Structure 1
Amino acid sequence: MGTEQREFILYPAIDIRDGKAVRLYKGDYAAMTVYHEDPAAVAAQWQEQGAAFIHVVDLDGAKDGKRKNRSVIEAVVQAVHVPVQVGGGIRTMETVESYFELGVERCILGTAAVQEPEFVKAALRRYGERIVIGLDAKDGMVAVNGWLETADVKAIDLGKELAAHGATRVVFTDIARDGTLTGPNTPAIVQMAKETGLQVIASGGVKSIDDLVELSTYADQGVAGAIIGKALYTGAIQLSEAIRSVMRA
């Protein structure tokens, strides 16, 4: 298993707040930049540049646990023919089913993994690989409720537990790096993959194509992809060029 070639996917991120495409700095809702009024148009742009998957986060949902941006997410799904994964405020089976009915391919469960473990285990039993676990960490500890609180559980320990209940894939975010363009926390990302056996999608801090190429060298150890946010919106990374570079690596 350790020597087989694994796929490494780049996920352009669309973070939605009040119906607009935005970015936060280190998860701070007060440090928000609006990048586009129409998230569906952004999704179409990323698809045109070669995206194989779109990553969407409902920031209002993450903070309040409500599906305020459901119609916006539906518009994103309809604007592209590549699969879409959605996270942010998914805390009930009804919400999971609702997103799947819209045509969403994967649902990412974050806060619920800590606060509603039985629901998460039931979702894994019912939907398998379509359920992705969102592990957001501050100093190695899991953060919840839109990163506003830290739970008393280590991210790696929670990853191991959920893997035992059928989880196969995790989005792992180092909050201290998110939106900072300071580079990903590669050692922590690789450690998460090695110790849990999960396919890890890296999130937070990606600033350059070199960061993505470096992460892709760990694909055979379980680092299965990377989410690119602010670096795309600032122009620091051109998605089509990044995809070509990772495929060549």
Structure 2
Amino acid sequence: MSARESKRETNKGESGLAFIIYPAIDIRGGKCVRLVQGDYKQETVYRDRPEEAAEEWVTAGAEWIHLVDLDGAREGRPVNHAAIGAIAGATGIPVQCGGGLRTLEDVALLADLGVSRVILGTAAIEDRAFVEEALARYGDRVAIGIDARNGYVATRGWLTTSEVKAEELAKELAQAGARTFIFTDISRDGMMQGPNVEAIIRLAQASGREVIASGGVSRYEDLEKLARHERDGVAGAIVGKALYTGQIELGQALAGLREA
């Protein structure tokens, strides 16, 4: 059994699934919102209190929650502490969270709030020493978020596109100790057009690590297609807009994956 397969076996939740669905809660101004392709001008508010969304997903059977501090991503520091702490402290399931984490103090802050796994994104490009130190200190509690536009890594809340290719960054950070990547194809985010499965698999193969897919999941078939590539390293999927619009019902999706 490979190290990646062993980790998948260890990560199986109560459902017995190694492939995990992560309901997304994006927080801006203390509210649960969704943006279109990361555009802060294209915002829809779905819940006034993000905790209500978390409670809904837990009741439906969620085994993880994915949080994004959108204000933090824009400002380069954690902002929505109250909502993050309330969700991490009350859900009873693990929570992963990203958005504006640039220092070890930021990572420690979220860890103290009860966040199980922090997500480092922009810092992976702009401050490699910090990322490597965070990986060394926190190990599995750190995931690397790679958001790509036309194959190149985007940073600072998707406002800036770098000259670094997503697959090359994944290779480098895997060598530095990264064990989990979260990959978003920005062109698919919020568009309900399905995930970029080919790019997700390429990143998993290039890094030799587990990749959580993000962006574009809009149908049950999208989840089933991703789950079929579990042995290639596709470890789960983040689902946002489709849950809030009712195109995917979380309980039904989990049941379908168990049957598959």
Shorter-chain TM range is over 0.9
User: Who is 1:71 aligned against?
Assistant: 82
Aligned partners of 1:82 and 1:36: how far apart in 2?
A: 20
Contact 2:26-2:70 at 8 Å conserved across structures: yes
User: Who is 1:245 aligned against?
Assistant: 256
Aligned partners of 2:202 and 2:130: how far apart in 1?
A: 27
Aligned partners of 1:245 and 1:214: how far apart in 2?
A: 12
User: Who is 1:218 aligned against?
Assistant: 229
| Percent identical | 53
Q: Does 1:57 align with 2:62?
A: no
**Alpha-carbon deviations, 1:30-86, whole Å to 9, x = none?**
001000001011101100100000000000000111322011101111220000000
Number of aligned residues: 249
Aligned partners of 1:248 and 1:82: how far apart in 2?
A: 23
Q: Does 1:127 align with 2:145?
A: no
Among candidates 189, 193, 214, match of residue 178 of structure 1: 189
Among candidates 184, 188, 210, match of residue 199 of structure 2: 188
Q: How does 1:82-93 map to 2 (within 5 A)?
A: 82-93=93-104
Among candidates 193, 206, 219, match of residue 208 of structure 1: 219
Contact 2:77-2:102 at 8 Å conserved across structures: no
**Alpha-carbon deviations, 1:166-198, whole Å to 9, x = none?**
000000000000001000000000111111111
Aligned partners of 2:170 and 2:256: how far apart in 1?
A: 30
In the alignment, structure 2 segments of 5+ residues that lack a partner are 9-17
Q: Does 1:31 align with 2:42?
A: yes
Aligned partners of 2:252 and 2:74: how far apart in 1?
A: 34
| TM-score, normalising length: structure 1 | 0.98
User: Who is 1:160 aligned against?
Assistant: 171
Which shifted more, 71-80 or 142-151?
71-80
The offset of 1:156, in angstroms, is: 0.4
- The DSSP-based 3-state class of the residue aligned with 2:163 is strand
Among candidates 8, 12, 20, match of residue 31 of structure 2: 20
Aligned partners of 1:38 and 1:4: how far apart in 2?
A: 38
- The DSSP-based 3-state class of the residue aligned with 2:131 is helix
| TM-score, normalising length: structure 2 | 0.94
Runs of 4+ in 1 over 2 A off after TM superposition: 1-6
Q: Does 1:105 align with 2:116?
A: yes
Contact 2:31-2:48 at 8 Å conserved across structures: yes
Q: Does 1:81 align with 2:118?
A: no
Q: RMSD of the TM alignment (CA)?
A: 1.2
Aligned partners of 1:79 and 1:180: how far apart in 2?
A: 31
Name the amino acid aligned to 1:184.
P
Contact 2:5-2:231 at 8 Å conserved across structures: yes
The offset of 1:4, in angstroms, is: 5.0
Aligned partners of 1:66 and 1:205: how far apart in 2?
A: 27
Aligned partners of 1:120 and 1:4: how far apart in 2?
A: 25
Aligned partners of 1:75 and 1:102: how far apart in 2?
A: 8
How has the CA–CA distance of structure 1 residues 4 and 132 changed in structure 2, closer, same or farther, with 3 Å as cutoff? closer
